[in-house]
Amino acid sequence: MPYILNKTNGNKLVTLQDASLDISTSLTFVGRNYSGYGEVFNENFVKLLESFSNTTQPAKPIQGQLWFDSANNQLKISRDGRTFKGLANLTVKSTSTPDNPVVGDLWWDTANNQLSAFDGSTFVLVGPSDPSTARASWVPAEEVDSVTSTSFPVIKGKFGSDIMIIFSKISDEVSSISPSSTDLTGSSKFGNGIKKGVTLVGTNSSGSSKENGYYFWGTASDSLRSTTSTNVTVTSATSGVYYLTFANAISGDKALSTDTDLSYNASTNVLNVTATSARYADLAEKYKPDRSYAPGTVMTVGGTAEVTASKEGDRAIGVISMYPAYLMNEGLIDGIPVALKGRVPVRILGSVRKGDRLVAADHGCARSTPPGHPDVFAIALADSEPNAVFVEAVIL
């Protein structure tokens, strides 16, 4: 009479017939009244005892089955009933490394309370970092302000046991903290306070670590080139002329240069130059519009404010500019730049030929007009494309 073998979860594994062997799994199951069953039973025990030790995985695993991969000396488990994945071999011992490790083995060093992993040649420290033995490390810590006794999280950057830099995120209400840890106190360390952000070792009360020889090198080193200049606070009431300074970009040294043709008068707020140049091509002034208008809109005086979009018969004063080369009345609140001179795109009605004279038309547009019209405000610089909305023009 056959009987059914069930797994631990109650699911059916196999139906075992009388006087037969079942080899649907890694073990061989013996049916009732099978002759020579003793050998089969004993081999099953051996397989279980050695966790199916072999260089190749069992061909018919079930979920949860263990297999000792003898090629890599690693115990593995089948999580899905098809493939095997390695189990980390964790050794807990003091000081000396585990014997005969393989790649992926873990070692908890009870002497130093540290976890390491074997990479095939040596055990690599996973953590926590131990500054006394690590060549370099980032160490998260809680630092107590010696003044307020408040704790703040910090990250210490260390080389060996020497702290070189501290990252901190203290609260907005606190400008700095006075460390209480003995490895941070002292003016040559961090005794002058830890600031929000990055603090270098040896930073003085003025925020400089120069006297202790520590800098941020790279692009930031260029900031050292301005150390020969003196800061000057200029107010509107201060009389006299000030010259703009420039670093010597040719040689890259610390020298600063001035140009007597480029100066600023603090009493008049006037900047004096010999000549200027600009990327864009129009002179504009801000006016208050009666509503919002897009660049290229032809404007005329009128509406509920100062300017409004043109209509047929109006005399245009200019066109809304997108990028003024020079902007007058810049401080006018709610004003928009109107190009009064220069080259800008202009909204058009109908076709336009290069050289055509333009006058104001409906809907904030311009149209072509024959010579002699008294209200010409611009000249087209190009032919308009079919169905074009804008044409490049010069404001007269």
pLDDT, residue 229, reads: 46
Residue 370 has pLDDT above 90, yes or no: yes
Q: What is the mean pLDDT of residues 184-201?
A: 84
Reported in sequence order, the residue ranges of 96-186 that DSSP labels E, i.e. its strands, are 106-109, 114-118, 123-127, 136-144, 151-159, 162-168, 176-177
Residue 62 has pLDDT above 50, yes or no: yes
Domain boundaries, the chain: 3-49, 90-127, 136-215, 228-276, 282-395
Question: Is there a contact between 115 and 126 (Cβ–Cβ < 8 Å)?
Answer: yes
Residue 208 has pLDDT above 90, yes or no: no
CA-CA distance, 79 to 183, in Å (whole number)? 48
pLDDT, residue 249, reads: 59
- 329-349 per-residue burial string, b: 16 or more CB within 10 A, e: under 16: eeeeeebbbbbbbbbbbbbbb
Residue 328 has pLDDT above 90, yes or no: yes
- Tens of pLDDT along 32-49? 989 889 999 999 999 999
CA-CA distance, 298 to 314, in Å (whole number)? 10
CA-CA distance, 95 to 119, in Å (whole number)? 18
pLDDT, residue 172, reads: 66
Question: Is there a contact between 70 and 55 (Cβ–Cβ < 8 Å)?
Answer: yes
Q: What is the mean pLDDT of residues 305-319?
A: 96
Confidence of residue 12 (pLDDT cuts 50, 70, 90): very high
Confidence of residue 223 (pLDDT cuts 50, 70, 90): low
Question: Is there a contact between 157 and 163 (Cβ–Cβ < 8 Å)?
Answer: yes
- Tens of pLDDT along 232-259? 555 545 567 777 777 665 655 556 677 7
Confidence of residue 379 (pLDDT cuts 50, 70, 90): very high
Residue 307 has pLDDT above 90, yes or no: yes
CA-CA-CA-CA torsion sign (307, 313, 316, 319): positive
Confidence of residue 219 (pLDDT cuts 50, 70, 90): low
**Predicted TM-score of the model (pTM):** 0.41
* CATH number of the 282-395 domain: 2.40.300.10
Contacts with 141 (C-beta within 8 Å, 6 or more apart), sequence order: 153, 154, 155, 156, 181
CA-CA distance, 3 to 170, in Å (whole number)? 71
CA-CA-CA-CA torsion sign (270, 271, 274, 277): negative
Q: What is the mean pLDDT of residues 82-105?
A: 84
pLDDT, residue 355, reads: 96
Q: What is the mean pLDDT of residues 318-346?
A: 94
Q: What is the mean pLDDT of residues 159-167?
A: 84
Q: What is the mean pLDDT of residues 18-30?
A: 92
The DSSP output letter for 80 is S
pLDDT, residue 265, reads: 80
Backbone angles phi, psi at 41, to 5 degrees: -60, -45
Rg (the chain; Cα; Å)? 42
What's the whole-number average pLDDT of the chain?
A: 85
Least confident range of 60-74, 164-178, 243-257: 243-257
pLDDT, residue 235, reads: 53
Confidence of residue 6 (pLDDT cuts 50, 70, 90): very high
Residue 54 has pLDDT above 60, yes or no: yes
Least confident range of 16-25, 194-203, 241-250: 241-250
Q: What is the mean pLDDT of residues 199-208?
A: 82
Token code pair at residue 136: 């370099």
Least confident range of 61-65, 75-79, 243-247: 243-247
State which of 84-98, 134-148, 353-367 shows the largest mean pLDDT.
353-367
Higher pLDDT, 149 or 376: 376
Token code pair at residue 242: 């000030």
- 72-111 per-residue burial string, b: 16 or more CB within 10 A, e: under 16: eebbbebeeeeebebeebebeeeeeebeebeeebbbebee
Q: What is the mean pLDDT of residues 73-84?
A: 90
